[in-house]
Amino acid sequence: MTAIENMKYIMQRLAPNSTFGGPFFKRLNLIQDYVNEDPRLISLINQKHEVLFRMSVSDEFCNALNTMHGGAISTLIDITTTIAISGFDKNLRQNVSAELSTYYLNPIKINSQILIHVKVPKIGKTLAYSHADIYEDENLKLCVNGSHIKAMLDKTWREDKI
């Protein structure tokens, strides 16, 4: 399977089992053909181990100021980097968070479309490293960046039970 096929598989496998992440999976779209969909996205993707997601920010992810809640943003980074790391891992191993850092640069407004650009520079035997940038889709304004280190497990996503 290709990395994109692995990511789709993981998203389909996790979505029904995720009560906390369920609302994210319902709105999260993996952009496969980003060049034909939107030529301005070419400037974002330039490496082999990178992937792009798009999501609509609904009120369930927002705070009283009608901007995306910081906890929702951290969860989004967690989910998208996990999908990317698992998809790019040649053994499709399950993993758990070791460290998650999020930097809030600009607010993300309610009802906006966002792009989540994930890079996975290294997947090792025991640890994997990733970075995520969240942009406003309208103008590619950088709103958030984060990093996520995952501990890689011996169990694969292909096993019967998660």
Kindly state whether residue 140 falls inside one of the protein's structural domains: yes
What totals of helices (H) and strands (E) does the chain contain, helices first?
4, 6
Kindly state whether residue 118 falls inside one of the protein's structural domains: yes
State the pLDDT confidence band at 67, using cuts at 50, 70 and 90: very high
The confidence score (pLDDT) of residue 31 equals 82
- Please report, in angstroms and rounded to a whole number, the separation of the first and last CA atoms in the chain: 20
**Number of domain units in the chain:** 1
Residue 47 above 90 pLDDT? no
The confidence score (pLDDT) of residue 134 equals 98
Residue 56 above 60 pLDDT? yes
Kindly state whether residue 120 falls inside one of the protein's structural domains: yes
Kindly state whether residue 161 falls inside one of the protein's structural domains: no
Residue 80 above 90 pLDDT? yes
Q: Can you give the residue range of the structural domain that contains 36?
A: 3-156
What would the mean pLDDT of 45-58 be, rounded to a whole number? Answer: 86
Helix, strand or coil for residue 63? coil
CB 30 within 8 A of CB 4: yes
What would the mean pLDDT of 131-155 be, rounded to a whole number? Answer: 96
CATH number, domain containing residue 108: 3.10.129.10
Percent of the chain with pLDDT over 90: 66
Residue 36 above 80 pLDDT? no
State the pLDDT confidence band at 29, using cuts at 50, 70 and 90: confident
Kindly state whether residue 38 falls inside one of the protein's structural domains: yes
The confidence score (pLDDT) of residue 113 equals 97
The confidence score (pLDDT) of residue 55 equals 96
What would the mean pLDDT of 132-136 be, rounded to a whole number? Answer: 97
3-state SS string for 83-147: HHHHHHCCCCEEEEEEEEEEEECCCCECCCEEEEEEEEEEECCCEEEEEEEEEECCCCCEEEEEE
d(CA 42, CA 122): 22
Average pLDDT value over all residues in the chain: 89
Query: What is the per-residue pLDDT across 85-104, written as a single tens digit (0 to 9) for each?
Result: 999 999 999 999 999 999 99
